[in-house]
């Protein structure tokens, strides 16, 4: 784990040196660095930038891929495929499939398309339809909680193709809410992740989540609802395979870095993703969770900034694109 943390810090420094004027938020560089570390791939910044330029050229005029999302998307293609440039059009085609079934435009749909692109799903159109059915089921249960940031997890669940998945999610949501977890979108996100743990019984996963939440109370970062998704990822691991102290150790190393000092939440989330990835090797889950969390954070901050600046309502509606 120490080696992975060091690789992550080095990758971030290299990205910051070359891209500090290209992105508006350091956490985007943190996200990109983590993608390379989670996939154990060597970062070549010039190659990444060249690929991101090609993505921007192929994206439509108002696509979110013409903004910072192109860099994280380029990183995903770069680590997953030997000839990533050849996959750009395929990604755009998958995005169009999601749009055909009425998924909204924007970054979360591109993340969903990226998940599908890197999966082994045999029938893309069928998987997209299943993802829409799962999303609609989520929406039916929690109309005010379910939004575009649920697209990526709905896609992962569609790929897993478990029967009765909405009932599984609801059981997790209700049982955890009765055990000290705050109701809301973060708890729904946690419930989605637990639903991926089809090799374990529901009670086992619920008890693990409660145990991890209690364990977090004794750490420097306590418990925030924002951390519920990483509690979900950790719950997929048996207790004897890791310790919350391992996350604390990585967190302490990261917070000593000048650029990371004020990024407490990202430090916690990335430390947890590194740990989970090392234990179960599920980069797709770690990346999907991390991408979704980061995008949600950035979009929430955009909304606050727009409200503060009293921007026009048209600007507000376009803030997530």
Q: Where are the alpha helices (DSSP H) in the chain?
A: 2-19, 26-38, 45-58, 69-80, 88-100, 107-118, 124-141, 151-160, 165-177, 185-195, 202-216, 228-235, 244-255, 264-280, 283-308, 313-317
pLDDT tens per residue, range 141-173 = 999 999 888 898 898 889 888 888 999 899 999
- Residue ranges per domain, the chain? 2-317
Nearest to 113 by CA among 63, 165, 48, 57: 63
Q: What is the pLDDT of residue 309?
A: 37
The more confidently predicted of residues 277 and 213 is 213
The stretch 62-72 carries a mean pLDDT of: 90
Q: What is the pLDDT of residue 304?
A: 41
pTM for this model (two decimals):
0.85
pLDDT tens per residue, range 265-307 = 889 988 988 888 777 665 666 676 666 655 655 444 444 433 3
* CA distance linking residue 287 with residue 285, whole number of Å: 6
pLDDT confidence bin for 310, thresholds 50/70/90: very low
* CA distance linking residue 154 with residue 195, whole number of Å: 11
Residues 6+ away with beta carbon under 8 Å from 216: 222, 223, 227, 231, 244
Q: What is the pLDDT of residue 319?
A: 45
Q: What is the pLDDT of residue 290?
A: 61
Q: What is the pLDDT of residue 199?
A: 66
pLDDT tens per residue, range 96-143 = 999 999 999 988 899 899 889 988 788 999 999 999 999 999 999 999
On the question of pLDDT at 315 being above 80, the answer is no
The stretch 79-102 carries a mean pLDDT of: 96
* CA distance linking residue 215 with residue 147, whole number of Å: 30
- As a whole-number percent, the residues of the chain with pLDDT over 70 amount to 86
Mean pLDDT over the full length of the chain: 85
pLDDT tens per residue, range 36-53 = 988 889 999 999 999 999
- Nearest-Å Rg of the Cα atoms of the chain is 19
């Amino acid at each position: 784990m120490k080696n992975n943390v060091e690789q992550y810090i080095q990758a971030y420094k290299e990205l910051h040196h070359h891209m500090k004027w290209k992105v508006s938020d350091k956490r985007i560089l943190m996200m990109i660095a983590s993608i390379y570390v989670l996939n154990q791939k060597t970062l070549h910044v010039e190659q990444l930038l060249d690929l991101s330029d090609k993505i921007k050229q192929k994206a439509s005029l108002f696509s979110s891929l013409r903004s910072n999302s192109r860099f994280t998307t380029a990183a995903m293609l770069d680590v997953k495929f030997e000839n990533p440039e050849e996959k750009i059009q395929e990604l755009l085609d998958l995005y169009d499939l999601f749009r055909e079934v009425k998924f909204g435009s924007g970054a979360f749909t591109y993340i969903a398309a990226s998940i599908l692109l890197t999966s082994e799903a045999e029938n893309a159109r069928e998987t997209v339809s299943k993802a829409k059915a799962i999303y609609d089921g989520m929406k039916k249960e929690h109309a005010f909680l379910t939004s575009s940031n649920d697209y990526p997890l709905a896609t992962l669940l569609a790929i897993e193709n478990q029967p009765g998945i909405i009932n599984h999610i609801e059981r997790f949501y209700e049982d955890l809410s009765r055990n000290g977890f705050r109701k809301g979108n973060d708890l729904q996100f946690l419930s989605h992740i637990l639903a991926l743990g089809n090799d374990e019984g529901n009670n086992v996963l619920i008890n693990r989540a409660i145990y991890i939440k209690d364990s977090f109370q004794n750490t420097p970062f306590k418990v925030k609802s924002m951390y519920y998704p990483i509690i979900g990822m950790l719950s997929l691991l048996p207790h004897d395979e890791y310790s919350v102290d391992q996350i604390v150790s990585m967190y302490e190393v990261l917070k000593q870095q000048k650029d990371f000092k004020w990024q407490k939440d990202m430090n916690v989330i990335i430390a947890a993703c590194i740990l989970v990835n090392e234990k179960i090797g599920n980069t797709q889950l770690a990346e999907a969770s991390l991408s979704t969390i980061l995008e949600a954070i950035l979009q929430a901050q955009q909304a606050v900034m727009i409200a503060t600046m009293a921007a026009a309502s048209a600007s507000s509606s376009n803030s997530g694109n």
